[in-house]
Structure 1
Amino acid sequence: MIGYYIHHHGSGHLLRARRIRACLAQPVTALSALTVSGDEVFDDVVHLPADNPAAVTADPTAAGVLHWAPRHDRGLVERMATIAAWLADTRPDAVVVDASVEVALLARLHGVPVVCMALPGARGDPAHQLMYRVADRLIAGWTRDLYDPLWLRPYADKTRYVGGITRFDGRPPAFPPPDGRPTVLVVGGACGGAFTAAKVRACALRHHEYHWRSVGLGDLVDDPWPELCRADVIVTHAGQGAVADVAAAAKPAVVVPAPRPFGEQEAIAHTLASAGMAITVDGWPDLDDWPALLARARDLDTGRWRAWQTRGAAVRAATTIAEVAAERLRCVS
């Protein structure tokens, strides 16, 4: 059995977990505060109590060693006790952590091998470094040739750069009927950011020469792949999943990084701009700036997206996890 801790902020962690789990032969139990019940991808689900911090917290970082461990916090106690009980009862072969320093330490303190998802941004703080030190393997969802952060280099021997993990790997292109005008698709995110439906409507009213569409801005789309394939230009945040989806579709893109802890999306946006893979801007552009931005994006060589290596990325991640889980069998024998 493999345990898979899925962080509850946004939807990217869950989408990535589902894709990787689909490539694993071993049974997988999801541990998360997200609503994963009824998910046929996982063999079992352990629902964790929601993270509802009190109005006042005491020393949540434990003097800078951790990220979230406030003193006398009931929610923290319940979450950790639930995970600990599952670890003791199940004795998993490995636990994948995406992403929590405290959960990684808890699993390792139970003697369980840990595979941690590395995240982009400035991760040289003591808490992240502690997690990376105790991890048996690290999975980076990008390519080392494009992004090789200094803080990850000490762990090069146990880091696997698998490429961008997307749920659309292997999907053939979809070809919706042409609209007659170039289509701009705006991809929103579950954690907000600069994108709103109102801003997209304003762009559509000002720039009639483009057909403006959106997903993830209050419009529920079960399968956005046809929309990605229809688009002539995609406007997206710089979340790892969204970027991998655009890379899989190989579309011109304007990337607007959302503010995230540790500069996660800014790091990805800078990498894409440096590689000539996308046009990046610091914030939502002014209405008058869109024609020039979209024209620049359409001049990009979309073949450069191949360098993000989305094809087979989830398989490579699953192989890394399976290797760690298999080490238990070698130890027993």
Structure 2
Amino acid sequence: MSFTIAFYVHHHGSGHLMRTLQIIKSLSDYRIILMGSGLEKTPESDHFELIHLPLDYGETPLTETTSALPEGVHYAPLGLSGIRKRTAMMAHIFEQHYPLLLVVDVSVEVTLLARLSGIPTIVIRQHGQRDDLPHMMAYQSAEVLLAPFPEAMYDQPLDTMLNKTVFTGGFSRFSSRPKVRNVVKNSIAILVGKGGSSIDESLVSEISSQATDYTLHVIGCSGTKNINSNVYWHGHIEDPFELLSSCELIIGNTGHNTVMETASLNKRFIGIPEVRPFNEQVEKALSITGRTGIEIVYPADLASQNWNEIIQRLLLQLPDWQGITDDEALDKAATVIISTGKRLFEN
């Protein structure tokens, strides 16, 4: 019996979608459905069917109610049409395309909806303190937990879900590309992610004013004013591989994609952990703290840094990303997904 593989992609930031698109490339022999909100800019492909789900926020929920948020979920407002519509659409997909295996990146509620619909799931694990009841319910209901990073980056030995977790090692959209050798001396990339960042014009101005011997390439946003002559605003770049490869050092938040892309490029890194649910970026920052060529600066300490001194010190070090990425990570992820589907549907 053949089966369909569906992916649910969370809309916050760009990391979930980028990760999913990389995994899909290794599943060319299977029918793929990709569903989520905010996927309008995702290019159409013959390899997967794209399902646009309505947003589940932006409306006014019911307020005259005596009910409280159930302890087993993170998000369940009452009365939102977007939730009703997206739930109906997903239930329809579950019914129409069965046998189906759902890979969830990420949502407790979608994982539990699939389980209540009789659909097996694989849940993508993330860093952070995720031992709360909703996460435990979702993890318990999943067939497999897939961690897109090495076990060496995970420091929770008492985790009761380790026995069903598969660590693939890290990967990024740059993993399979050849290393670029034309590095430009004293060039620095500053990455501004989509999920909200303390890296703003004020910080760029401060860094550029202190580190006057360096050229700063800001990727991900455009400046509203001229700051210093050593700053170049590039805005959104669809494929920043060449520019990032040419820089000696990358400054960015410690979100999953930024960390894995920097590791794939083997670049020196100044990581700034942002406040995220479940302390995700802080935990990821801690998992790479102490390596040469890597410096972690917390948002509360940004204003007190000697940026010129940090940059000079890091440029004298070789970056140590050993063991973070794995050339076979995508194949490992695909193997887990395929073997799970075969175990369930082809025996």
**Alignment RMSD (CA, Å):** 2.2
Q: Which range moves more in the overlay, 245-254 or 31-40?
A: 31-40
- Aligned residue among 4, 7, 26 for 2:7: 4
Give unpaired runs (5+ residues) of structure 2: 223-234
SS at match of 1:154: coil
Counterpart of 1:306 (choices 319, 322, 326) is 322
Aligned mate of 2:24, from 21, 25, 34: 21
- Contact residue 55 and residue 83 of structure 2 kept, 8 A: no
Count residues with an aligned counterpart. Answer: 327
2:163 to 157, 163, 183: 157
Alignment correspondent of 1:286: 303
Which residue pairs with 2:110 in the alignment? Answer: 103
Measured in 1, the distance between the counterparts of 2:126 and 2:205 equals: 33
Structure 1 letter corresponding to 2:11: H
Give 2:178's aligned amino acid. Answer: P
Amino acid of the structure 2 residue aligned with 1:329:
F
TM-score by length of 1: 0.91
Aligned to 1:318: 334
Q: Which of 70, 90, 95 pairs up with 1:88?
A: 95
Question: Within 2, Cα distance between the matches of 1:330 and 1:262?
Answer: 37
Between the aligned partners of 1:157 and 1:277, the Cα distance in structure 2 is 33
Does the 8 Å CA contact 1:166/1:314 hold for their aligned counterparts?
no
Tell me the TM-score normalized by structure 2. 0.87
2: distance between equivalents of 1:111 and 1:288? 53
Partner SS for 1:132? helix
Q: Taking structure 1 as reference, are residues 61 and 306 closer, same or farther at Cα in structure 2, changes over 3 Å only? A: farther
8 Å contact kept, 1:166–1:310: no
1:66 to 66, 70, 73: 73
In structure 2, the residue matched to 1:174 is 180
**Structure 1, residues 112-163: CA drift from partner, whole Å, max 9, x if none?**
2100001111101100111110110111122112323246x31222211111
Letter in 2 for 1:273: T
TM-fit CA distance, 1:90: 1.0
Which residue, 208, 213, 216 being the options, matches 2:220?
Answer: 216
- Aligned equivalents of 1:61 and 1:214: distance in 2? 44
1:48 to 53, 60, 71: 53
Runs of 4+ displaced beyond 3 Å:
53-62, 175-178, 274-277
TM-aligned CA deviation for residue 297 of structure 1: 2.3
Structure 1 unaligned segments of length 5 or more: list them.
none
Q: Is the 8 A contact 2:34 2:50 kept in 1?
A: yes
- Structure with higher helix content: 1
Q: How far did residue 300 of structure 1 move?
A: 3.7
